[in-house]
Amino acid sequence: MIDSKQGKIIDIIGKNEKVTEVIVEIANIREKAINYNLFTGRPEIGDYVILNTTAVELGLGTGGYHFIIANLKGKNIKSNCEGHIMKLRYTPLQLKTMAAEEQKSPHHQVFLDFKTLNGLPVIIGSLHSMLMPIAATIKYHRPELRVTYIMTDTAALPIDFSKTVALLKEKSLIDYTITLGNAFGGDFECINIYNGLIAAKEITKCDIAVITMGPGIVGTGTPYGFSGIDQGANIDAVNTLGGRAITIPRISFADKRHRHRGISHHTLTVLDKIAKTKCYLPLPILPKAQGEYIKNQIINLKINKKHYIVEMNTVNLPKILKKYSLKVNSMGRSYSDDPSFFQACCCGAQLSLRVLQTNLCNNK
């Protein structure tokens, strides 16, 4: 069910081509709201709007924003998109996109001619907050490399909700974006992970691809009830197409929930039960007690028999972040709060560089 209210736009606090952030007044209370311009046009001060207030009223992690459903000024909106693949299908907000693989697309033939990813390093994360440290680490060491971000549809659907993506593109830390399934707004739209990977390799010509969901993971505290479980299917997709799957473990020693201590049960479930093919699992070399805790988790589930474990030295992430004027955060925790989480991301980035170099040497 949707909770909705009517409000009046009294200020515009931020905008770009695709998104407008506004202040709305609802029953004499001022609150923040997001307007997606492709849905409801460009808002103006004084407009009356209908807002989806559900997430804020539940106290969920949307940043305290309502979302504008409709602008009551009633202007007609005409899409210029020539594509015919629908996203958000059979909802009031269904939109047409030009999918990279559809027949009218200039890239259609690419998907017919595709043979293999040819060892493309693909970093597979389970949280959106992993993207920033991964991309920054890659570009810090190899700024000339082309990095493509593939966003799945298991969390936020509009890529433009992510300020992380906007910032990384602004700083040239990611070069292209691809949105899959019902996710939308990337430089390229694709139907599924397989064609997303093909587009990354053959259209964007990337050196390294990174897959994560958008902001807003869902979890229930049950073994299989979390949206990051698609990490397993993504591992298999990369391997099926001939890439190198590098899985970022979700590691924390600051999370008070036992199921997320050390390597999160999310990662362990994916590696033990979901992924049917082998991946590379980079693990940061941590202080002794933490390292032993993780080692026991790996051995108890025989993860080391099912996947390739790669222990790696940690990097000076604060130095990298300072260079690009970035601040990382995950689950409300900064680097100093939970360094092992972010170091795991950096290790994945470092391993992708190693895999890339190995591929280049083998192809000479």
208: part of which helix (H) or strand (E)?
strand 208-212
Q: Furthest-apart CA pair in the chain: how many Å?
A: 68
Residue matched to tokens 């009633």: 74
Percent of the chain's residues with pLDDT above 90: 90
Tell which wins on pLDDT, 1 or 344: 344
CA dist., res. 160 & res. 156, Å (int): 9
Domains of the chain, earliest start first: 4-71 (2.40.50.220), 108-362 (3.40.50)
Alpha-carbon distance 147 to 124, whole Å?
Answer: 13
* pLDDT score of 22 more than 70: yes
pLDDT of residue 77: 77
Query: Which of 61-75, 82-96, 273-287 has the least mean pLDDT?
Result: 61-75
Residue 288 token pair: 């002794």
pLDDT in tens, 324-350: 999 999 999 999 999 999 999 999 999
pLDDT, tens digit, 9 for 90 and up, residues 212-225: 999 999 999 999 99
Beta strands, E only, 251-349: 251-252, 262-263, 280-284, 308-312
Please say whether the beta carbons of 165 and 150 come within 8 A. no
pLDDT at 362: 67
- 214-235 CB burial, b ≥16 within 10 A, e <16: bbbbeeeeeeeebbbbbbbbbb
Higher pLDDT, 26 or 79: 26
pLDDT tens-place string over residues 149-179: 999 999 999 999 999 999 999 999 999 999 9
- Average pLDDT on 278-303 reads 98
Cα–Cα distance measured from residue 349 to residue 361, given in angstroms and rounded to the nearest whole number? 19
Of 95, 58, 207, 202, whose CA–CA distance to 147 is shortest? 207
| 229: DSSP letter | G
Q: How far apart are CA 196 and CA 188, in angstroms?
A: 9
Q: Count CB neighbours of 273 within 10 A.
A: 13
Q: List the one residue out of 362, 124, 135 whose CA is nearest residue 244.
A: 124
Rounded to 10 deg, the angle between the 339-362 and 317-324 helix axes is 80
pTM exceeding 0.85? yes
The phi, psi pair for 340, rounded to 5°, reads: -65, -35
pLDDT for residue 62: 60
Average pLDDT over residues 84-110: 96
Tens of pLDDT, residue by residue over 122-153, are 999 999 999 999 999 999 999 999 999 999 99
Q: Measured between alpha carbons, how far is 279 from 87 in angstroms, rounded to an integer?
A: 31
Average pLDDT (71-87) is 86
**How confident is the model over 258-266, as a mean pLDDT?**
94
Give the residue from 154, 285, 127 showing the smallest Cα distance to 210. 127
Q: Which helix (H) or strand (E) holds 357?
A: helix 339-362
Number of other residues whose CB lies within 10 A of the CB of residue 133:
28
> Tokens representing 151?
């966003």
Residue in 229, 286, 228 with CA at minimum distance from that of residue 254: 286
